[in-house]
Structure 1
Amino acid sequence: MKKLLLPTDFSGCAQNALNYALLISKKLQTDIHLLHVYPPVYNFSSGSEEYEQKQEEDANQKFDELQQKIWQREEFRRISITRETRKGDVISEIIDIAEKTQADLIVMGTLGAGGIKSIIGSNTSEVVHSAPVPVLSIPANFRPDKVRRMIFATDLNTMDIGAITTLAPIISKLKLPLEVVHVYPEHDEEEDMLYRGFVEKVKENIPTASITFHKINTDDVERGLARFTDDYGDAILTMTIYEKEFFHKLLSQDIAEEMVLGGTTPMLVLRGKK
């Protein structure tokens, strides 16, 4: 991992995401690219140029202030930070810059409870659907220094083994233990057999990793996962998506929408490859 992309609207929510991005960057020795996107004027009045100029000037001033805050902490002074202001659709610009800068991870803020309509919060879910790289969402009320573990939620898809194998060296550098959890309906013997095979394969692939495996029997998969995550309260919840339609379906359910947009748990969403 070499570069993090952090879209910002300069809000407290975005600042919290930046705080964790800085911690990640320090441990993984990555660069950070800051991106601010402002909406275009859809008329050609004489005031449009002044509007764009003011947007650019305001963004530069806020970037300067942000940079000064970062430099106040000596531990972050060696991190290479670049910045960019773009005019256009927020989602499209984030995706475009992620591709052009060859970002390895997009870090974004979510406003937390009641914040689904916020600019950063609502756009985060759209970026998750469309981004070609992993997206890490950080709730505004989550303390970045509170992260103590990573939880990987799996449906036993064999491609999750590859995702866990890829994650292992990264979370090792972050010094986080990995908790792999599978939630499935009660009294399912076939699922038990698949689970045991999945665990054996992961252990075979990465025998030295610090991984603990969990299985939760419940008919309500989403709530079971939410309860498991809440019991820790200090974790990043990770999952891999292979179909956009699946994630849209998941988000249509109240509990999943709360976890992604209005919850208190950071979420890392990986883009699966078929």
Structure 2
Amino acid sequence: MKKIMVTTDLSSNSKSAIRMAIRLAKLRNSSLSVLQVCHIPKPYSWTQIAFEKFLKKSMNKLTSELSSFVYKICRSMGLEPFKFRSVVINSLEVVSTIIDYAEKEKFEYILIATRGAGIVKKLFGTHTSELLSISKIPVISVPSSYRYRPIKTIIYATDMENFEEELPGIIDFAAPVNASIQMLSITQSFEGINNPKETEMHLVKKFNFQINFVQVNRNIVNSLIEDIHLSIKTKPNSMLALYSHHDRSGFEKLLFPSNAEQYSFYSKIPIIVFNKIH
């Protein structure tokens, strides 16, 4: 059975990701695990035996609280009791713990909420940014203010490199949620494809899927990330899909598609970030 994982810190900000994870699990007929990473330090004066006893009791309590938190969200959505797995892991390293657990359990997708801050510098040190940067498993970033609506369009923003190898991953996500794909190519005016309609017909025929190819010329006044934002902000019931390089460090270059980390924090719609295919 396919599996989805969502992370939470039991805050209100994390509820949007849990709501979306529940919807996706139902649509994809996948199992759902809800993960909380916490840290319970060992008091210096305690023996290891005493601490392990305390830790076990604490973890059981936290797991119960996590289950209750998710059940309340299910009830608020008007859903019947939904089967899920509550997982609490004691660790200082939040991001590496999330990734290690996700890879070990072979999850298809990781969901995490973001607060939607619009200042790029706020990205540094955040769990969402780190996950988007290094995870080999697709990460879905859900703004905390997002209210789930049926996804009708997956906006696939591409630099036109390896797009035929990347599209199957987008289609695999889009098909179970009954969404079409809008392939958004933002290029310089002299770099565009000569016949976009012909490209669209080729893709529809090859992949047997509804794909709308849209070519948008770059505005040199804007950053690349602004052009993406301006191109999709009026589209309702949408979700943005990106393939992100994991071999580039820092945010000094807003070159597509390594801008996935920046975009997530002022997005009004969820984004799904895949590992770049080389």
Q: TM-score, normalised by structure 1?
A: 0.83
Q: How many angstroms apart in 2 are the aligned matches of 1:118 and 1:47? A: 40
259 and 67 in structure 1: CA distance in 2 versus 1, 3 angstrom threshold: closer
> Residue type matched to 2:138 in 1?
P
Does the CA contact (< 8 Å) of 2:200 and 2:211 recur in 1?
no
CA contact (8 A) 2:4 2:21 kept: yes
Relative to structure 1, is the Cα distance of residues 242 and 114 closer, same or farther in structure 2, using a 3 angstrom cutoff? Answer: closer
Instruction: Name the counterpart of 1:130.
Output: 134
Q: Cα distance 1:232–1:155, how it changes in 2: closer, same or farther (>3 A)?
A: same
Worse-superposed segment, 260-269 or 238-247 = 238-247
Question: Match for 2:212: what amino acid?
Answer: T
Cα distance in 2 for residues equivalent to 1:257 and 1:193: 31
CA distance in 2, matches of 1:195, 1:51: 63
Whole-angstrom CA distance in 2 between matches of 1:85 and 1:125: 22
The alignment status of 1:100 with 2:101, answered yes or no, reads no
Which residue does the alignment assign to 1:36?
36
Corresponding residue of 2:86: 83
Aligned to 2:147: 143
The alpha carbon displacement at 1:154 in A equals 0.5
Amino acid at match of 1:202: L
**Identity, % of aligned positions:** 19
- In 1, Cα distance between equivalents of 2:199 and 2:90: 46
SS at match of 1:216: strand
1:8 pairs with 2:8: yes
Cα gap change, 1:194 to 1:167, in 2 (>3 Å): same
Question: Is the Cα contact below 8 Å between 1:151 and 1:181 reproduced in 2?
Answer: yes
Contact 2:33 2:84 in 1 (8 A): yes
Stretch moving more, 242-251 or 219-228: 242-251
How much has 1:164 moved relative to structure 2?
Answer: 1.5
Cα pair distance change 1:25/1:76, threshold 3 Å: farther
1 or 2, which has the higher helix percentage? 1
The reply to whether residue 228 of structure 1 matches residue 236 of structure 2 is: no
> What is the alpha-carbon distance in structure 1 between the residues aligned to residue 269 and residue 170 of structure 2?
19
State the AA in 1 paired with 2:165.
Answer: G
> For the residues of structure 1 that align with 2:70 and 2:267, how far apart are their CA atoms?
29
* Rounded Cα–Cα distance in structure 1 between residues aligned with 2:11 and 2:122: 10
User: Which is further off, 68-77 or 84-93?
Assistant: 68-77
Alpha-carbon distance change, 17 to 157 in structure 1, aligned in 2, over 3 angstroms: same
Contact 1:250 1:256 in 2 (8 A): no
Match of 2:213 in 1: 213
Instruction: Provide TM-score, normalisation by structure 2.
Output: 0.82
Please state whether the residue corresponding to 1:35 is helix, strand or coil: strand
Contact 2:225–2:254 under 8 Å retained in 1: no
| Counterpart mapping for 1:250-265 below 5 A | 259-265=263-269
- 105-114 or 128-137, which deviates more: 105-114
Secondary structure (helix, strand or coil) at the match of 1:9 reads coil
* Unpaired stretches in structure 1, ≥5 consecutive residues: none
User: Partner amino acid for 2:244?
Assistant: I
